[in-house]
């Protein structure tokens, strides 16, 4: 797929439907967009819905450049039940008839805000000795895992029914944080157990739920040749996270030929930028060349990723 004769290099916010894997979404979009080079950031489990940032064309090279932090979720939960998957789809391990009050639930939840340690669940894509945990879990195996440091910025109970143990929580978390494990651990701390019943990602990778499109909507835009209205150029997405640097014609040609530019050649005054500062690099016509870092000590511009 091309955009005005140029290879596509864009990102689109997709609202992932329930029951689909993140890979299912990518496979479907390959057919809709007629483009093989498609990837995503921030995998969502099949039972989850919500924000999935999808990278198209050359933009797939930038997946690892977008921050994987500051994700927000709305999750349904049920206290009094623990399962092997830590969500409602799993096999019940134990149940408890004594349910916590709203006050008890909120008091314990506060203790999970900030820097915490989380044990990766067996039903996850985390690898141990080169093997994904969920594959071992499906074989009925359990292996030793090491707790990992995680960050929970915000956590609040939005709804709760003390009679049924059912409720909804809102969470803002950092990279690698499992919401179902968070609910499981809160339940364990309360002594009654808990599992996740639903999950909606509200924001991730700079995209909010309101900026996302369903697969049906994307299909309609494609059929009407209006994809440019919903595809966001990679340069605009990167601008949310990196400052920009424009090179003159000669410097841009040298950069594209792999020459390590000195600060003066790139228009950077030595010492004017923090060492290792990263920014997007453009040619004089506004074309995105890549992302680079400036090395103060050696006074040179070093390429991180190229898009030309």
Q: What is the pLDDT of residue 2?
A: 47
User: Which member of 45, 87, 185, 283 is catalytic?
Assistant: 45
Same-domain status, 166 and 284: no
Tokens standing for 64?
A: 């690892």
Work out how many domains the chain is built from and give that number: 3
- Average pLDDT estimate for 260-270: 82
Note if 45 is an active site residue.
Answer: yes
Q: Which residue is listed with tokens 């989850």?
A: 48
Same-domain status, 248 and 213: no
Same-domain status, 54 and 157: no
Q: What is the CATH number of the domain that holds 292?
A: 2.30.130.10
Give the model confidence (pLDDT) of 83-131 as tens digits: 999 999 999 999 998 999 999 999 999 999 999 999 988 777 777 777 7
Contact between 77 and 190 (Cβ < 8 Å) = no
Give the model confidence (pLDDT) of 210-253 as tens digits: 999 999 999 999 999 999 999 999 999 998 888 899 999 999 99
Among the listed residues 239, 106, 109, 281, the one whose alpha carbon sits nearest the alpha carbon of residue 185: 109
Task: Please give the residue range of the domain that contains residue 298.
Answer: 242-306
Whether pTM > 0.85 for this model: the answer is yes
**Please, is 101 exposed, middle or buried when counting C-beta atoms within 10 Å of its C-beta (0-12, 13-18, 19+)?**
exposed
């Amino acid at each position: 797929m091309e955009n005005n004769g140029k290879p596509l290099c864009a990102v689109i916010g997709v609202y992932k439907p329930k029951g689909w894997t993140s890979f299912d979404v990518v496979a479907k979009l390959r057919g809709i967009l007629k483009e093989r080079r498609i990837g995503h950031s921030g995998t969502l489990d099949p039972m989850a819905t919500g924000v999935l940032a999808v990278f198209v064309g050359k933009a797939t090279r930038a997946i690892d450049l977008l921050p994987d932090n500051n994700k927000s979720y709305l999750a349904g939960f049920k206290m009094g039940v623990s399962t092997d998957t830590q969500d409602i789809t799993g096999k019940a391990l134990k149940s408890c008839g004594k349910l916590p009050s709203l006050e008890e639930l909120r008091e314990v939840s506060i203790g999970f805000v900030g820097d915490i340690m989380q044990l990766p669940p067996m039903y996850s894509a985390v690898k141990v000795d080169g093997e994904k945990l969920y594959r071992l879990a499906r074989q009925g195996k359990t292996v030793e895992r090491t707790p990992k440091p995680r960050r929970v910025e915000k956590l609040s109970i939005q709804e709760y029914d003390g009679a049924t143990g059912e409720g909804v929580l809102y969470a803002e978390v950092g990279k690698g944080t499992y919401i179902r494990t968070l609910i499981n651990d809160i339940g364990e701390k309360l002594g009654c157990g808990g599992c996740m019943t639903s999950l909606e990602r509200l924001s991730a990778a700079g995209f909010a739920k309101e900026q996302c499109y369903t697969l049906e909507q994307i299909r309609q835009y494609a059929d009407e040749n209006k994809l440019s209205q919903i595809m966001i150029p990679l340069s605009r997405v990167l601008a949310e996270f990196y400052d920009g640097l424009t090179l003159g014609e000669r410097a841009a040609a040298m950069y594209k030929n792999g020459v390590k530019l000195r600060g003066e050649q790139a228009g950077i005054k030595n010492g004017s930028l923090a060492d290792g500062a990263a920014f997007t690099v453009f040619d004089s016509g506004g074309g995105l060349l890549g992302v680079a870092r400036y090395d103060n000590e050696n006074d040179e511009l070093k390429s991180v990723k190229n898009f030309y």
